[in-house]
Structure 1
């Protein structure tokens, strides 16, 4: 799975960086975004409750915003 970036981090990255493909309809693009989000949430076995989703998003924002040494300690 790591080889093809089909991991929690891989889907997180795909969710955050995806752009519509040339000629892709808005509906298809939205389905692709939702698929990336669903896989990002499902792979670490995150409960789909509001609190667990909030924790996942806050953790991701913290890691992205902090210097690497602070985020990994």
Structure 2
């Protein structure tokens, strides 16, 4: 069953893959951040961002599973 929470979970998990596989969007050197070309700092930015998105997806999944179990128990 597709729920809004599961759609958000899927988006949280797919976003880092899309961002990293679309190389043309970040294959440039400007803007540099403290002398580091965009190509490198953009990828490094996605490391903690991916961790946060995975954490959000995990929390939403746990909430969805608890709601599903309580809904099954009520029936």
* TM-score, L = length of structure 1: 0.38
Structure with bigger gyration radius: 2
* TM-score, L = length of structure 2: 0.37
- Higher fraction of helix: 2
